[in-house]
Amino acid sequence: MELYNTLVHKKSGFKAIRQKEIRMYSCGPTVYNHAHVGNFRAYIVSDTLRRVFEHLSYKVTHVMNITDVGQLVGDGNLGEDKLKQTARIEHKSAKEVAREYERLFIKDIKKLNIEMPSVIARATDHIPQMLNLIEKLDKKGYLYRAETGMYFDTSKFGDYGKLSGSDFKRLNASLMGGARVERPAGTRNITDFAVWRFSPADEKEMVWDSKYGRGFPGWHIECSAISMEYLGDHFDVHTGGVDHIQIHHQNEIAQSEGATGKKFVNFWVHNEFLKVNGSKMSKSLHNTYTIEDLEGMGISPQGYRYFVLTGHYRSIMNMTVDALKSAQRTIESIYSFIERISGSMPEGVPEKEFGAEIKKLGQEFFRRMEDDMNTPEALASMHALISIANKRNASRKLSNGDRDAVVAVLLEMDGVLGLSFKEHTATKPLSAEPRRLIEEREYARKSGDFGSADEIRRELRDRFGIIVEDTKDGPQWRRK
């Protein structure tokens, strides 16, 4: 498999650190509000990558954090904690806010058929691990005390900026940009970041005692501490959105490698932005959509997942109502095809050439998925298979064996697409009795005995839970 690795700024062959085992980390949500569909693009991408690895017979340990403390409202190192701001607005405790939006996030990822990570780790459950990492950094001379907290001195980490292809001097110069940049009092460099923030003496919620003073962790330290707790100091893959490259992920690398002296992550996989009607999607711009919003528009979670897969993960996507509705129509047509073909009684005979074409398109699909997750081209292979199978079924040239082969390949494809194809298949073959009744009903219908045909249809429904529909391609059946 080949993947684009942000760390080396090119696509390269993937090799796991341990044989047939992959350790993978994904930046999770900050649970102060509903996650929007732009956020979910990142989780669909990481889920698809995990599914490709599993298709290749890797055992994947996938860890995701839940940020329930430490991320501030303002840019940089200033502003109020997002959880505390929402708690104040909603007249709840920060913990109540965190648990409610975490619950809604989990509900949405299940709707999107995203596999649950092996570990979902809350930041507030890992304060000791963060403090331990902070102490290591302090002993190695990376930290200094400022008015608002303990800060990482980015000038002391020689490779700072390597993820973005820059360096310490250029990053600081570009961030200053000739204009006044506000930063906490006593900090040395614009790229320096807090690992521990001090709290006022009267602060009661979301604060912890430490050797540095009463306070709470900075945002970046949690991902390093949590990932290394479950995956070790050096692991295979870290995923996230491109918006994390410049600051969050560079800071993760600096503090992790600064503490351990080892390479932190081999492959950094980043997905591009999802725009809405050509504009950046942002809560601050009030142009975000939740999964529930899309459902209200008639777009199913699987319709949205299909829409995301139509774009390459490293390409900016533009979400419009028309594009979403087109994706919804397409996924419904795929489901309809699967129901139709798996519920048909083919009359054709097996053809060697068609069997070879099924195999070829299946192999082509997976080659494209293993080429940096090229989902648009992989979907093209899937649609080619559906098209030729549909034509053969319509012309009564599809055999039982070929039908089963088509369905089997589609289900194998769906193992990495995650579009819930299996829910739309007749997974249990018909037993002899309902199959005999369907044949009898078709004979009655062709003979003009519509009363008997209707009676048999009711019997199939009531006794066996089989719904028979007459189509131009002949009788099709499905289970209730």
302 domain-assigned: no
**pLDDT per position as a tens digit, 50-109:** 999 999 999 999 999 999 998 887 655 667 889 999 999 999 999 999 999 999 999 999
CATH classification of the domain holding 106:
3.40.50.620
Query: Are residues 253 and 388 both part of a single domain?
Result: no
Query: Are residues 465 and 360 both part of a single domain?
Result: no
295 domain-assigned: no
Give the burial class of 225: count Cβ atoms within 10 A of its Cβ; 0-12 exposed, 13-18 middle, 19 or more buried.
Answer: buried
CATH classification of the domain holding 391:
1.20.120
Considering only residues 284 and 414, tell me which one the structure prediction assigns the higher pLDDT: 414
What integer best gives the mean pLDDT of the chain? 92
Write down the pLDDT at residue 480: 65
**pLDDT per position as a tens digit, 93-114:** 999 999 999 999 999 999 999 9
Query: Are residues 451 and 365 both part of a single domain?
Result: no
Long-range Cβ contact pairs of 141-144 (< 8 A, separation 24 or more) = 142/255, 142/258, 143/195, 144/188
Say yes or no to pLDDT of 177 above 70: no
Query: Are residues 458 and 405 both part of a single domain?
Result: no
Write down the pLDDT at residue 181: 58
Query: Are residues 213 and 123 both part of a single domain?
Result: yes
Query: Are residues 43 and 134 both part of a single domain?
Result: yes
Question: What mean pLDDT is predicted for residues 181-205?
Answer: 89
Query: Are residues 402 and 368 both part of a single domain?
Result: yes
Write down the pLDDT at residue 178: 47
Q: What tokens does 140 get?
A: 């190695």
Question: What mean pLDDT is predicted for residues 232-241?
Answer: 98
303 domain-assigned: no
CA angle 328–329–333, rounded 5-degree value = 115
Query: Last residue of a domain, which of 252, 271, 290?
Result: 271
**pLDDT per position as a tens digit, 262-311:** 999 999 999 999 999 999 888 777 889 999 999 999 999 999 999 999 99
304 domain-assigned: no
Least confident range from 3-17, 380-394, 414-428: namely 414-428
Write down the pLDDT at residue 179: 47
Query: Are residues 252 and 381 both part of a single domain?
Result: no
Q: Which domain holds residue 443?
A: 432-479
Query: Are residues 177 and 42 both part of a single domain?
Result: yes
Query: Are residues 398 and 473 both part of a single domain?
Result: no
Contact call for residues 36 and 102 (beta carbons, < 8 A): no
C-alpha dihedral, 411 to 414 to 420 to 422, nearest 10°: 10
Say yes or no to pLDDT of 428 above 60: no
Write down the pLDDT at residue 319: 97
299 domain-assigned: no
SS3 156: helix
Per-residue confidence band for 446, with pLDDT thresholds at 50, 70 and 90? confident
314 domain-assigned: no
Percent of the chain with pLDDT over 70: 96
**pLDDT per position as a tens digit, 148-169:** 999 999 999 999 999 999 988 8
Write down the pLDDT at residue 170: 87
Query: Are residues 254 and 116 both part of a single domain?
Result: yes
Give the burial class of 327: count Cβ atoms within 10 A of its Cβ; 0-12 exposed, 13-18 middle, 19 or more buried.
Answer: buried
Say yes or no to pLDDT of 346 above 80: no
Percent helix, strand and coil across the chain, each to the nearest 5:
50, 15, 35
149 domain-assigned: yes
Tell me the C-alpha distance between 156 and 274, whole Å: 35
| 303 CB neighbour count, 10 Å cutoff | 22
Query: Are residues 414 and 451 both part of a single domain?
Result: no
108 domain-assigned: yes
Number of domains present in the structure of the chain: 3
Q: How far is CA 280 from CA 28, 43, 248, 308, 339, in A?
A: 20, 18, 19, 16, 38
